[in-house]
Structure 1
Amino acid sequence: MSGRNLMETFCRSLLVFMTLLALNGCVQNTAPNEELLDFTLQKQNHHHQDYDNWQETPIQLISVTSLPGSGPFQNVTIIFTSSKSVDLHWLTDSEIPLEHLAPGVETFHKSSGEGLNDATVKLPRNHGLSTLKVNLIAKNTTFELQAVIDITGNSQHSERISSFTFFVPSSSEVGISSTGKTQFHVYVDTSQSTFKFAIITADLYSLVQRNSTSHIIEKSAYSFQPDVTSTALRLANRTHQENTYHADLIMDSIAVANNGGMLTMLSGCIGTGKLVKMLYIRRTLLLRTKPGMPPIPADTVAFITTDTPRNISLTQSSKTLIVIRCTAVGNPRPLISLAKEGGQVVTEKSNVTIFAAQYPFRTAAIFAFKSTPEPGEYTCIAKSGKGVSRRTYSIAHKQKS
């Protein structure tokens, strides 16, 4: 081979090598057999991308019916399909279990062939709610679907829903580089639904040890909403093409590389019908740096910040429902309890309704008081293996000014 041909071959090989290095520099030092989603999806035009290996939501909401009826009850029925068995929860406006409307609340859930499900909640007519939420969690996956249903009005109404599709990585576990970097593409397709506007958000959770206590890093990225600057997590290359919404999700966190973590992606659509006002699809990805490595180190547990204030004020005339929300991550998945000062565990027999939803490496618990609680300190206790974490809330009477 001539010197010129050798030089041309060398240049072509170098060009290919540099191109691959530029595209995959974020994932170097990662085991080759680890599933790792890369940086190659950078094009602004996504019409011709191949999404055949991507995973769609395993739950699809088909229809919603509100039937006031002539008696003292109002029935709300949903029909949905699922490729997996599901945990189904009916919640109030504030995501409180409907047991607070007891006595009189009844729920029915049946399934038939081909993954078709029929679920009904029977509400007392004086329920006083404006909206109702239904939460569906696909078992053995990290998918969750929630619908916000308008239940005002006295006329019967049925609405057929064609759920939008949220395309996300097919695996529930995603490998990252040794420096904590990864990137992949997500998008929403609303073309086959009544939903014509979509949002995409993401939150990153990672355990960090400080003074022998586990803490959570929380970073947010938003797409088709106002941007939030974050060095650990951001959404880039956002495009809106007719009924599709695209974004590249970019993560850069050395804390995740050292400790593992979770990435939660959520897409929501605003309804245009009379019944379904919002529909959300949530997917949690488990982040690991090595094959076989758990996303969260064993025997660790930590709380994720919730919207519950640490100091809760009571007024004598207040009829506001007092709720304490506690969400914790851990390996194994934590169990959460609530204890009053002095160590007395709060149970459903002690003036509170308890609701817990369990996900891979995460538990979300709600403690809703049926009547005004006694003032004092209440502590959420999360236990996971040998790990224990606590978060204390203070309930006190509001002082008159």
Structure 2
Amino acid sequence: MEKIGRGFVSSQHNNPFAVPPSFNFWAPWIGKKTRRSNLVLNTEFEKVRPQKLAEVCEITVSEDRLREELYKQKVQLVRKLCRECGLDSSGSRTDLLLRLSKEMQSRQTYDKVFQKIWAASGGWAVVMCPCGIVYSIKCNIRAESPRDFADILLSWKHMPNIVIYDFARGLATHLNLREPERLPFTPHEGRLRAPTADNIAQAKDGKLKVSLPWLNCKKQIPDRDGHPITGSAEHYALYDKFHEDNTKDARDSLRRISLVPQLAGKVNSQVAEQLFARLSKNNYFLNMALPSTHLFLTRNIIQHYNNHKNKQRMDNIKKVFEAEVAMNSYSQAVLGNFFIYIYILYIHFYYNHSVTYCIVFLKYLCF
């Protein structure tokens, strides 16, 4: 309606159908059979309020993680940060980054870098399955927070058993503090084992293995409120492969994908990074558009991306089995009376009921 109304008014300011960026209007987009109801959560306004003490202790951004985000920034911003921190702003990008990294040991410099990098404008948060299908998207007005993904997961009809995130500890802590009556991430606060000294030592040495057989075969006797695909009511928050060493908390060694034989070496935990690398070519024209146009076009691009991905997957399945493939009530590929076991649920998020595990990620875009 905003686009139609634009043709009848002299300026966008006078358009009665315009939807400005606002906490009240911009909610997550979740597939109609994935979401719990037509009302979805958006508590982004809560970011301006003081955090709970327990959350502050668990969600403080580490120096390594902040440095990683700093290395993604353009040279103009890095040079500006050097000047604001009283450092020499001449030289190559590498020289500037080395100076800032060394100076970040100072709390004052750390706070300045944090404010510039982490407290910047928002971006797109996506929830995907490891096969690359986007199940949920959310446009953030403020900077990234586990709250964004918590809103999405709490709005789902069935929360995934495994959530892979680059800040798994923060997400698990935030969700459990928000829902203390039912504790979404259990057991062990989303860790694969209890954080005992022996378990931590074995995990660090690579000697600990935690089998989750229900990822391959549904439990014969499902748990109460268990996932409809796995039958399990357990929920774990794990780190993606490239961020599992960023944390300094020894207990986070129990959040590694490699500890689970059913996941180790079989899950592409960087699928969201790969998606945004592909979409980065659209950043220029999207960032020049009006906010509502940006939302519309991004949603449209994701729609076509999902359609293409699913068609490609289904064509491959039909080619292998040389027979007609249908979908069961959980949107799984079925051949005759037999379920075609595919490691991931390959299905468009419009029609999906549930997903066993997902990857959550946020990409910064400047509006």
Q: Whose strand fraction is larger, Structure 1's or Structure 2's?
A: 1
Write 1 or 2 for the structure with the bigger share of helix: 2
| TM-score computed with the length of structure 1 as normaliser | 0.22
Larger relative contact order, structure 1 or 2 (CA cutoff 8 Å, min sep 6): 2
